[in-house]
């Protein structure tokens, strides 16, 4: 779809809700640039920028990165692509971050993936990873040919700490506490659109239809 004007969109959803898959499809179908806060964070830490070093020290001490630092980091990157349409993923995570974003940009739409926590727990705790390549298997719907081993190298698979049941429960609880107010913030502004379901492939067509309608009305 050819966009006549710059579109600003945000995608939200708990860890394991299929945000990565849906983001990939949105950027491919509609030509928006995918901006991931996690990627920006890692790039700044690896490049040892001033903000990157500040964040690394927070993370190393087990602290949350302060809202103003996170906002400065993301907004710096967004300013570098001012004339592009983008889809922001992983930011804002708090109302304070949402307000900082609003001070600079008008967000056209916020897509919220509402997947039951039980489904996410099942999905994440079934994930096993080949660490050297980053290949991910799911024992329910994308199992390795030989249980416990990578298809291509035959090396053992591991379950990342993030995917262990107790960690998943903790992450989902933190998401709920931190992000519910952000959803409420965007709901009150009339830009929140929620898509509920248990399968990404069934949620995606609804997201696609909505965005086609939304973007043609904006354009």
pLDDT, tens only, 74-118: 999 999 988 899 999 999 999 999 999 999 999 999 999 999 999
Is 195 marked as a binding-site residue? no
How much is the average pLDDT of 177-195? 96
Of 8, 93, 123, 214, the active-site residue reads: 93
182 has binding-site annotation: no
Q: Give the strand order in the sheet containing 86-89.
A: 33-36, 86-89, 8-12, 109-114, 192-196
Which has more pLDDT, 24 or 59? 24
User: What residues does each domain of the chain span?
Assistant: 8-217
Q: From the candidates 56, 72, 135, 171, give the one annotated as an active-site residue.
A: 171
Check if 160 is active-site: yes
- Tell me which of 8, 123, 127, 214 is the catalytic residue: 127
Q: What's the whole-number average pLDDT of the chain?
A: 91
18 labelled ligand-binding: yes
72 is in an annotated binding site: no
Percentage of the chain modeled with pLDDT above 90: 64
Buried b vs exposed e over 45-70: b needs ≥16 C-beta within 10 Å? beeeeebbebbbeeeeeeeebebeeb
**Catalytic choice (160, 164, 170, 189):** 160
What pTM was estimated for this model as a whole? 0.85
Contact call for residues 140 and 117 (beta carbons, < 8 A) = no
Q: Consult the annotation and say whether 160 binds a ligand.
A: yes
- 135 in catalytic set: no
Please determine, for residue 58, whether its predicted confidence score (pLDDT) is greater than 90.
no
- CATH architecture for the domain at 8-217: 3-Layer(aba) Sandwich (3.40)
209 is in an annotated binding site: no
Q: pLDDT (tens digit, 9 = 90+) per residue, 116-166?
A: 999 999 888 999 999 999 888 988 878 999 999 999 999 999 998 888 889
In Å, what is the CA distance from 108 to each residue of 85, 86, 90, 145, 212? 11, 10, 17, 44, 13
Q: Pairing state of beta strands 135-138 and 127-130?
A: antiparallel
More confident residue, 40 or 183: 183
| 123 is known as an active-site residue | no
pLDDT band at 62 (very low <50, low <70, confident <90, very high): confident
| Residue 31 labeled ligand binder | no
Q: How confident is the model at residue 1 (pLDDT cuts 50, 70, 90)?
A: low
């Amino acid at each position: 779809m050819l966009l006549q004007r710059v579109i600003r969109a945000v995608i939200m959803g708990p860890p394991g809700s299929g945000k990565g898959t849906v983001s990939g499809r949105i950027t491919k179908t509609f030509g928006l640039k995918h901006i991931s806060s996690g990627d920006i964070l890692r790039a700044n830490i690896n490049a040892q920028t001033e903000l990157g070093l500040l964040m690394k020290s927070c993370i190393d001490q087990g602290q949350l990165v302060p809202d103003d630092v996170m906002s400065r980091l993301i907004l710096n990157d967004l300013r570098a692509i001012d004339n592009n349409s983008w889809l922001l993923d992983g930011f804002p995570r708090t109302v304070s971050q949402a307000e900082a974003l609003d001070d600079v940009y008008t967000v056209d739409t916020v897509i919220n993936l509402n997947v039951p926590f039980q489904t996410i727990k099942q999905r994440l705790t079934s994930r096993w990873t080949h660490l050297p390549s980053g290949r991910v298997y799911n024992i329910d719907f994308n199992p390795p040919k030989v249980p416990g081993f990578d298809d291509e190298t035959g090396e053992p698979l591991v379950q990342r700490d993030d995917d262990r049941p107790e960690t998943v429960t903790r992450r989902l609880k933190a998401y709920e506490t931190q992000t519910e107010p952000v959803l409420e913030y965007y709901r009150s502004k009339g830009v929140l659109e929620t898509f509920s379901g248990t399968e990404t492939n069934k949620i995606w067509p609804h997201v696609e239809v909505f965005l086609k309608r939304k973007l043609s009305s904006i354009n």
